[in-house]
Structure 1
């Protein structure tokens, strides 16, 4: 089956369509240095990853059911720098700065050929969408990197109320198409095996995994795995996609 049978194509955002210009913890370190932080970047990396994991377990989906997403990220930042800043530093000032900076193109870049791939899919008259485990900044970020206009809809998990791999977020995407698209006519593209690939498959969709570490004998089949969007874009232009 080629993309001829596909009416809807959706994308994950982080590490699929977009990548950080530098790792998040590296940017955290840069901002914190302006407020007197003198510690090692490796410490920030370790504490950031742990803080993010703790908060995601305690308050899933960026705290949607219990706290605001801004409070969620502020807690991640507080835990990351706890005991690491001088008394003169205001952690809320740092958190506000980071939360706002990560709305902008300072922190994000479009994957090579990402915009070209979206143009090609538009020319093929595909409905395009985003399905991402993300907070409400998502639309603003896509606008700031000049991608928002390509999409018919953008679903951020915080606003929808469900996170991938929950089938309901994929069902919600079908609803956005006014049920003119069947799950078997939808394709999701993402970098996470469980949340993106298996989540879409469980919802009855086709799926493509973006991964440069996939081993041929591992699931999914190699024909469903591409190293990056550039490789995928080439295969689509050659009409050489097997779903």
Structure 2
């Protein structure tokens, strides 16, 4: 396996999900507040919901890490606890929570009802899918697209509801049912809930290359040598996504849509300061269109 820049012919391109491909719209806290009010709750602002949610989320992550996986708790139960602990402090002791509050919020944030794709995602992946199909037919350079995300098991369904074509292959599953390369936008999804670790742990990235290796063994002996593959990760968080990927031996790009780390008019390597003494140079892109300017995509065409 190689980072980009070598003589590798093939490309494994993986993305973070939340904040990189899609986002809540409106904000999580506005949606929580809206659903709660429609069910008869009142006396709190969206800012109150935000503060309470952050506290509840932090507590649940500490007590039951990785969406409850470490404690043997189902993700739905884990989120139900957060929902209850978000609203209980905002209500009088005598007022109970509506029974339908957690189910409605769980349903909303399992589909496009709670999220929206960034506008560059569909055009980018549709064009990439067309290029992949051409290469599959010509047995040319191959590209596999994956997701590596700290998440429970809802991500594939969310992406599908937002209009992406997602293979059902997840880390740890039998790959024999995987579709032929190029017929989907996303070939596989690696979620922390399945892996048992969360980014920035390198096990998340190793899980992706392990899934690729298994996938290639089924798909095509001609491209099965994983050492002939570049591995690239794109995410919106500096430490959990980009620096973690690089530390795991990947190439990486920081998707900086809001210009937090660089001037949005510029594209290319940017020096970021981690603390008073440590600096790293990372590749910053302002959108997915910028990815087309990288050497990784010269082979995709």
- Tell me whether the two structures share a fold, i.e. TM-score over 0.5: yes
Please give the per-residue CA displacement for 1:63-102, whole angstroms capped at 9, x wherever unaligned.
Answer: 1021221111111111110143475653442011101111
Out of 113, 122, 132, the position equivalent to 1:115 is 122
CA contact (8 A) 1:18 1:110 kept: yes
Q: 1:170 to 1:33 in 2, by over 3 A?
A: same
1:145 matches 2:162: yes
Distance across 2 between alignment mates of 1:100 and 1:237:
41
1:195 alignment partner in structure 2: 240
CA contact (8 A) 1:104 1:141 kept: yes
Out of 285, 289, 297, the position equivalent to 1:226 is 285
Aligned length: 239
Of the two, which has the highest radius of gyration? 2
TM-score w.r.t. the length of structure 1 is 0.88
TM-score w.r.t. the length of structure 2 is 0.72
Out of 197, 219, 226, the position equivalent to 1:162 is 197
What is the Cα-based RMSD across aligned positions, in Å? 2.6
Gaps of 5+ in 1: none
CA contact (8 A) 2:145 2:186 kept: yes
1:41 alignment partner in structure 2: 46
Displacement of 1:141: 0.7
- Worse overlay, 59-68 or 111-120: 111-120
1:93 matches 2:100: yes
Displacement of 1:121: 3.1
Displacement of 1:104: 1.4
